[in-house]
């Protein structure tokens, strides 16, 4: 069996750092990634401290749990309080709603269960046909095809979807338009790209002149991608390059894309800490409305309290602030007792920073 640790050859990483240093000629560059798994890889391997000082890596909104707004959590909470069985991913349990998280409703006797994905949700719903189940479906482009595939096949009658799926490219576009946020290139998320393909990012260099490199998740992938971004800048180019060719193609996963457009419409949705972003989310199409929990239970959208006083998640999510700059970090906010959404999921920037910060020094 192939040892995936081969990917971590120290010699290669050392050489990559040398190349980055040589290429960048001391000039300062800031690059943004938008992926929780990239943040884990970068922080776990201490890449920020290994990179030359003039290269800065910032984390954008790449953690689906963090960007799910309080209004969506409130809807899930209301369903659990109303006697429905709410199913969701483990790391969505403790995301704060306006008042309660799903974990808190569960502690008060609500039926909330953790599942690994929608297949398990279907099994549970079939096993107890007398109960009504709702799957709280958070996630980005990577997760959407799993939901689309099952909705297209037809869900059990006692299961519906509380959908909170969001799209990566529209949020990347939005961030480039924020006048006070400066960066010179994007590291695009590898597994989102496996679905949407390199093609999906072309608007970014074309319309905004911003270089994009699709990156894998090994330290060497990230370093090589940084070197590729620097080279694009010095050559006066801006295009989409694919470093992660072993998993990502130009077209992406066509079967998945077709399923997504069959089952979902693109919709304007709220992102926590960012606001409403045009065409940045997915909504079940009308012909599948019977499986839309919002339709089935006539849910009203709450205003939702996204950021509690003192939490700086809205700035952490867009890469303006590092977790360490939040005064709640480590004191009032820890993974065991998260105060803000960025501390909840294993992919949240604050959570990652908490878990790996000791190792980084």
Using CB under 8 A as the binding criterion, the count of chain residues that bind another protein stands at: 59
Distance CA 128, CA 249 (A): 41
What does 19 bind: another protein, ligand SF4, none (CB cut-off 5 to 8 Å by kind)? another protein
Name which of 31 and 329 has its Cβ closer to ligand SF4: 329
Q: Is 313 in the site for ligand SF4 (CB under 6 A)?
A: yes
Whether the CB-CB separation of 76 and 102 falls below 8 Å is answered with: yes
Q: What phi and psi, each to the nearest 5 degrees, are found at residue 82?
A: -90, 10
Q: Is 118 in the site for another protein (CB under 8 A)?
A: yes
What does 159 bind: ligand SF4, another protein, none (CB cut-off 5 to 8 Å by kind)? none
| Beta carbon of residue 102, minimum distance to another protein (angstroms, whole number) | 14
What lies within 8 Å, CB to CB, of 2 at 6+ separation is none
Whether the CB-CB separation of 327 and 350 falls below 8 Å is answered with: no
Q: Is 101 in the site for another protein (CB under 8 A)?
A: no
DSSP state of 299: P
Q: Is 316 in the site for ligand SF4 (CB under 6 A)?
A: yes
Taking residues 114 to 153 in sequence order and writing x for each that binds ligand SF4 by CB under 6 A, - otherwise, the string is ----------------------------------------
What does 313 bind: ligand SF4, another protein, none (CB cut-off 5 to 8 Å by kind)? ligand SF4
| Beta carbon of residue 346, minimum distance to ligand SF4 (angstroms, whole number) | 13
Inter-CA distances, 350 with 247, 267, 313, 342, 345, Å: 28, 29, 8, 5, 9
What does 140 bind: another protein, ligand SF4, none (CB cut-off 5 to 8 Å by kind)? another protein
Q: Is 194 in the site for ligand SF4 (CB under 6 A)?
A: no
The token duo for 233 is 């800048």
| Beta carbon of residue 81, minimum distance to another protein (angstroms, whole number) | 23
State the Cα torsion 185-187-192-194 to the nearest 10°. 110
Whether the CB-CB separation of 198 and 341 falls below 8 Å is answered with: no
Buried b (16+ CB within 10 A) or exposed e, 292-323: bbbebbebeebebebbeeebbbbbbbbbebbb
Strands 159-165, 185-189: pairing is unpaired
| Beta carbon of residue 38, minimum distance to another protein (angstroms, whole number) | 10
Radius of gyration of the chain (CA): 21
Q: For residue 283, list its beta bridge partners.
A: 265
Beta-carbon neighbour count of residue 127 at 10 Å?
10
Within 333-352, the residues that bind ligand SF4 by CB under 6 A are 333, 339-340, 342-343, 350
Name which of 186 and 329 has its Cβ closer to ligand SF4: 329
Name which of 266 and 321 has its Cβ closer to ligand SF4: 321
Q: Is 358 in the site for another protein (CB under 8 A)?
A: no
From 206-214, 246-254, 292-300, 351-359, give the range in contact with another protein by CB under 8 A. 246-254
Using alpha carbons, select from 341, 71, 19, 33 the residue that is nearest to residue 172: 33
Q: Is 15 in the site for another protein (CB under 8 A)?
A: yes
Beta-carbon neighbour count of residue 16 at 10 Å?
22
5 CB-contact burial (10 Å; exposed 0-12 / middle 13-18 / buried 19+): exposed
Query: Which residues contribute to the site for another protein (CB under 8 A)?
Result: 1-2, 4, 6-7, 9, 12, 15-16, 18-19, 22-23, 35-37, 62-65, 89-92, 116-120, 138-140, 142-143, 145-146, 149, 191, 194-195, 220, 224, 227-228, 231, 234-235, 243, 245-248, 253, 255-256, 259, 345-347
Query: Which residues contribute to the site for ligand SF4 (CB under 6 A)?
Result: 311-313, 316, 323, 326, 328-329, 333, 339-340, 342-343, 350
């Amino acid at each position: 069996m192939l040892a995936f640790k081969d990917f971590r050859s120290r010699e290669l990483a050392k050489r990559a750092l040398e190349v980055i240093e040589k290429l960048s000629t001391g000039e300062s560059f800031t690059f943004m990634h938008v992926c929780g798994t990239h943040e884990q890889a970068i922080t776990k391997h201490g890449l920020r401290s290994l990179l030359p000082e003039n290269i800065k890596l910032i984390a954008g909104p790449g953690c689906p749990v963090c960007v799910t707004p309080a209004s969506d959590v409130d809807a899930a909470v209301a369903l659990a309080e109303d006697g429905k069985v709410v199913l969701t991913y483990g790391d969505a349990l403790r995301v704060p709603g306006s008042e309660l998280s799903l974990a808190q409703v569960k502690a008060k006797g609500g039926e909330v269960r953790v599942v690994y994905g929608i297949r398990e949700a279907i099994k549970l719903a079939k096993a107890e046909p007398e109960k009504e189940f709702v799957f709280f479906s958070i996630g980005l482009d990577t997760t959407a095809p799993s939901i689309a595939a099952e909705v297209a096949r037809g869900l059990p009658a006692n299961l519906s979807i509380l959908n909170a799926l969001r799209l990566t490219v529209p949020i990347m576009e939005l961030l480039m338009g924020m006048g006070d946020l400066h960066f010179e290139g994007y590291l695009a998320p590898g597994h989102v790209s496996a679905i949407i393909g390199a093609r999906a990012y072309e608007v970014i260099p074309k319309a905004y002149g911003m270089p994009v490199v699709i990156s894998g998740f090994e330290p060497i992938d990230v370093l090589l991608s940084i070197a590729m971004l620097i080279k694009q800048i010095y050559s006066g180019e801006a295009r989409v390059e694919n470093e992660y060719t072993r998993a990502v193609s130009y077209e992406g996963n066509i079967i998945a894309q077709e399923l997504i457009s069959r089952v979902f419409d693109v919709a304007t949705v709220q992102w926590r800490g960012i606001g409403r972003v045009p065409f940045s989310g997915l909504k079940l199409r009308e012909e599948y409305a019977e499986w839309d929990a919002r339709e089935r239970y006539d849910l009203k959208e709450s205003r939702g309290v996204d950021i509690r006083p003192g939490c700086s998640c809205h700035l952490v999510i867009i890469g303006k602030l590092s977790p360490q700059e939040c005064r709640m970090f480590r004191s009032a906010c820890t993974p065991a007792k998260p105060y803000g959404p960025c501390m909840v999921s294993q992919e949240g920037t604050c959570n990652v920073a908490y878990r790996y910060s000791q190792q980084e020094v």
